[in-house]
Amino acid sequence: MRLADVLNGDSPHRLYEKFILEYYRKHWSWLHPAAREIDHGMGDSAPDFLPRMLTDVTLANGDKCLIIDAKCYGTILGTHYDKEILSPANLNQIFSYVMHAANAFDGEVSGMLLYAKAEDAELESESWLELGHTYHVRTLDLNQDFAGIAAQLDAIAELLG
């Protein structure tokens, strides 16, 4: 029986987020892994209806910061006018995290959407530069032994130098 069949609702997603965060806490503690809240930059004038910007995982090494937004869905790419695209909501979320974090961090801030690899996923790793920040989309293949999963997570941490 698959774990996702046993868990319901948001549970697989939360488990995925926590697994990634705890992996970095145990194996990459010097990168100060944490789920951090990012300030909207409006002080006390921020309206109450704005959602909190709470990252799944933030890693920092000196003047480099990587914000990871973990996604655990059945599909990675959707379709829009017969073209495969990433979720605009997911892209907007990581973009907002990076742009707001850059205001408070004295250094390079990058963002990553880290999807649990779906069985039919062809997308594995892409990166691009947008408005002075690097963005990544990666898939984490959980259908392998732990050494393989660890190697993929280690490669992500190594982006911080």
d(CA 52, CA 68): 16
Burial of residue 96, with CB atoms counted within 10 A of its CB: 0-12 exposed, 13-18 middle, 19 or more buried: middle
Q: Please report the beta strands in the chain, taking only residues with DSSP state E, as ranges in sequence order.
A: 37-38, 53-54, 57-61, 64-71, 78-80, 83-85, 108-116, 125-130, 133-140
Please, what's the b/e burial string for 45-57 (b: 16 or more CB within 10 A of its CB; e: otherwise)?
A: eeeeeeeebebbb
What pLDDT does residue 81 have?
84
Identify whether 11 is part of a domain: yes
CATH label of the domain that carries residue 84: 3.40.1350
Span between the terminal Cα atoms of the chain, in Å: 39
pLDDT one-digit tens code per residue, 28-73: 999 999 999 998 888 778 888 888 899 999 999 999 999 999 998 7
What pLDDT does residue 25 have?
98
Identify whether 43 is part of a domain: no
86 is in which domain, residue-wise?
3-37+52-160
3-state class (DSSP) for residue 8: coil
d(CA 108, CA 18): 25
Q: Provide the domain count of the chain.
A: 1
What pLDDT does residue 1 have?
41
Identify whether 136 is part of a domain: yes
pLDDT one-digit tens code per residue, 72-116: 876 777 777 878 788 889 999 999 999 999 998 999 999 999 999
Q: For residue 161, what pLDDT band results from cuts at 50, 70 and 90? A: confident
- Stretch 136-152: mean pLDDT: 95
Whether pLDDT at 9 is above 70? no
Identify whether 146 is part of a domain: yes
d(CA 65, CA 159): 10
What pLDDT does residue 83 have?
83
Q: Which residue has the higher pLDDT, 44 or 133?
A: 133
The position carrying tokens 């799944």 is 56
Identify whether 94 is part of a domain: yes
What pLDDT does residue 94 have?
97
What pLDDT does residue 6 have?
47
Q: Is the pTM of this model over 0.85?
A: yes
pLDDT one-digit tens code per residue, 111-129: 999 999 877 666 678 999 9
